[in-house]
Amino acid sequence: MSPKKAILRTLAAAHETGGATYTRPASIPGFEADPERFQGAINELLRDRLIEGRKDAEGHMAVALNAHRLADVKRHLRPAWAHPVVWAAAVVVGILGAGLML
Domain extent listing, the chain = 3-101
User: ∠91-85-51 over CA atoms, to 5°?
Assistant: 160
> What fold does the segment set 3-101 form as a domain?
Arc Repressor Mutant, subunit A (1.10.10)
Strand ranges, E, within the chain? 51-55, 61-65
What are 49-63's pLDDT values in tens digits?
A: 999 999 988 999 999
Q: pLDDT, tens digit, for every residue of 6-62?
A: 999 999 988 888 766 889 999 999 999 999 999 999 999 999 999 999 998 899 999
Average pLDDT over residues 54-74: 90
Cβ 68 vs Cβ 20: under 8 Å: no
CA distance linking residue 5 with residue 24, whole number of Å: 16
* pTM, entire model: 0.73
